[in-house]
Structure 1
């Protein structure tokens, strides 16, 4: 893991305002892709809405390399810092 990625992971936790649902989904998908790689679990059942949302966010990043995902995560966090403050 790169230092900039580790820093971004910590910075997103202290934003002045919580990102919206879509932004959180993007962050989650990029984080899982960067730390685990391609999705390796089955899609949760239809009644597990939160689990399904996370699964879909991660599945959208399938095929993205770990380094690319880390870079994209850092870029998203920088935009969120500008939008919400830190």
Structure 2
């Protein structure tokens, strides 16, 4: 299976993560997803009164040095870990 196909499959599986998934894990997935699909962070950091968007931006910025392929691989690995932990 091609990496992109596997990534898209796990992106769908990520939608079925249990509600108990921590916000920290969700932010890691968000950052990896954005890096895999968009590439380097290309927006300015949201203001201090928009905390949710600011945390998401920080998560993306933290992984911006990864290649898109590496971000896809890391995303797949993280989704697998979270799904296994939920069982």
Q: Shorter-chain TM-score: what band?
A: over 0.9
Q: Mapping of 1:1-86 within 5 angstroms?
A: 2-85=4-87
Shift of 1:14: 1.2
| Contact kept in structure 2, 1:25 and 1:53, CA below 8 Å | yes
Task: Tell me the number of residue pairs that the alignment of Structure 1 and Structure 2 aligns.
Answer: 85
| Structure 1 range deviating more: 14-23 or 45-54 | 14-23
Q: CA RMSD in A?
A: 1.2
Unaligned runs of 5+ in 2: none
- Give secondary structure in 1 for the equivalent of 2:46: coil
TM-score, normalised via structure 2 length = 0.92
Shift of 1:63: 1.2
TM-score, normalised with respect to structure 1: 0.93
Runs of 4+ that moved beyond 2 A: 15-18
Secondary structure (helix, strand or coil) at the match of 2:19 reads coil
